[in-house]
């Protein structure tokens, strides 16, 4: 990025807003047009050196960037104000939110928001000017950026949109839409309270039929979730986490997809070997975010993301554990997880 930056001073401000709920928002970011694609290649597919940002950010922001990006590089995205319409949406963004980039009927990349920052000067330096002197000055910074290859049509069906709807504009999904999107991306199961609990649960029942229509999709997902949950917990009040081997009440165990649900075929989704119980105390997050994986039935380290000493201690305690959910039937799902997280975005050419 060297020549792009000069030593000018500029004013910036950053708002870090505490979230009302624990639930991350889902940011949808279209990158279909040539300029957005160019921006994507510049600051999402490529690493930006944070030291190149030093002269464009305030001292407090610089301190935060140094704390967050200990590896020295970051990814950045930004939106234009669009007569204020985008600003309202951008103001909902908080650290921990998940951003998904769509292009050519697919989601091609995802990342986790670390902070947002309004900074016109930095936007001009990163991406230049758009139409009518506009620039993408409402910025958000990302970590854990990964490539994806998930069809938009599946997402649309899960959300109750028309299957062929494109991601037309920047949007920040919260509330029920946000929950559905998180579930679709495999980031969180549907909350227990979302649907009335079934009074009688037969855990040996046949897999639900997944002939989906837009209207029935939510109920169908719920049936599938219950089927997997019952085949794993078998009605027991306690179960063992598949990675750390500790016992927890089942309400503290997530029915985690070994292969991310959004990449599963309908057949995969009702295969009881596609999921395993992971604890909320760390294993679910570490597996979902690709810090660890399972190879040949053993827990192995994977992505070198930012790690703090308590995290390292946790990783040390679980790496090398056997996973008893690894079998001939589940092997291909575990292999998918390893492959998916191992391919880091920069090694992949985004089509």
Three-state SS at 212 = coil
- Compute the least distance from the CB of residue 286 to Zn ion, in Å: 9
**Which is nearest to 138 in space by CA: 124, 119, 125, 121?**
119
Distance CA 327, CA 274 (A): 11
Decide whether 33 or 251 has the Cβ nearer to Zn ion: 251
Nearest approach in angstroms of CB 288 to Zn ion is 12
The least distance separating Zn ion from the CB of residue 311, rounded to whole angstroms, comes to: 14
Q: Among residues 53, 181, 279, 323, which is the contact residue for Zn ion, using CB under 5 A?
A: 279
As measured in angstroms, the least distance from the Cβ of 246 to Zn ion is 6
Instruction: Report 152-191 residues binding Zn ion (CB under 5 A).
Output: none
**Residues between 237 and 256 that touch Zn ion (CB under 5 A):** 241, 243-244
Here the tokens at position 229 are: 């949950």
* Minimum CB–partner distance for residue 335 and Zn ion (Å): 21
Span interacting with Zn ion, options 17-25, 152-160, 212-220, 276-284, rule CB under 5 A:
276-284
Q: What is the DSSP letter of 70?
A: T
Return the residue of 283, 302, 323, 345 that touches Zn ion, per CB under 5 A: 283
> Of the listed pieces 127-135, 204-212, 271-279, 294-302, which binds Zn ion according to CB under 5 A?
271-279
CB 340 within 8 A of CB 260: yes
> Residue with structure tokens 């610089």?
62
Q: Which is nearer to Zn ion, 108 or 243 (CB)?
A: 243
The first and second tokens of residue 23, run together, are: 């639930």
Q: Which residues contact residue 42 at a Cβ distance below 8 angstroms, ignoring those fewer than 6 apart? A: 126, 127
Q: Which two tokens stand for residue 175?
A: 């509330």
* CB nearer Zn ion, residue 68 or residue 307: 307
Burial of 276 (0-12, 13-18, 19+ CB in 10 A): buried
User: What residues make contact with Zn ion under the rule CB under 5 A?
Assistant: 241, 243-244, 279, 283
């Amino acid at each position: 990025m060297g020549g792009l930056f000069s030593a000018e001073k500029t004013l910036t401000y950053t708002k870090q807003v505490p979230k009302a709920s624990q639930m991350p928002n889902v940011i949808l970011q279209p990158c279909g047009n040539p300029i957005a694609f160019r921006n994507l290649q510049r600051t999402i597919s490529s690493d930006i050196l944070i030291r190149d940002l030093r002269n464009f950010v305030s001292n407090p922001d610089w301190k935060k960037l140094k704390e967050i990006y200990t590896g020295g590089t970051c990814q950045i995205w930004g939106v234009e104000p669009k007569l204020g319409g985008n600003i309202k949406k951008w103001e909902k963004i908080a650290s921990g939110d998940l951003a998904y980039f769509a292009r050519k009927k697919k989601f091609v990349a995802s990342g986790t928001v670390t902070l947002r920052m309004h900074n016109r000067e930095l936007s001009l330096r990163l991406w230049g000017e758009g139409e009518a002197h506009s620039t993408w000055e409402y910025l958000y910074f990302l970590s854990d950026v990964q490539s994806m290859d998930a069809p938009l049509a599946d997402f649309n069906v899960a959300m109750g949109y028309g299957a062929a709807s494109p991601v037309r504009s920047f949007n920040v999904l919260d509330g029920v839409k946000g929950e559905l999107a998180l579930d679709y991306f495999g980031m969180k199961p549907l909350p227990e309270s979302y649907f009335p609990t079934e009074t009688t649960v037969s855990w040996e029942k046949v897999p639900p039929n997944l002939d989906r229509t837009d209207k029935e999709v939510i109920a169908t997902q719920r049936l599938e979730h219950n089927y997997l949950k019952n085949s794993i917990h078998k009605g027991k009040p306690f179960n063992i986490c598949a990675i750390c081997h500790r016992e927890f009440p089942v309400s503290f165990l997530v029915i985690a997809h070994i292969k991310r649900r959004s990449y599963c075929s309908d057949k995969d989704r009702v295969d009881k070997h596609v999921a395993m119980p992971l604890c909320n105390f760390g294993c679910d997050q570490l597996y979902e975010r690709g810090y660890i994986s399972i190879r040949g039935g053993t827990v192995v380290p994977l992505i070198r993301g930012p790690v703090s000493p308590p995290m390292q201690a946790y990783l040390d305690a679980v790496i090398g554990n056997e996973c008893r959910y690894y079998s001939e039937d589940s092997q291909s799902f575990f292999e998918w997880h390893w492959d998916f997280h191992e391919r880091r975005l920069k090694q992949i050419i985004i089509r």
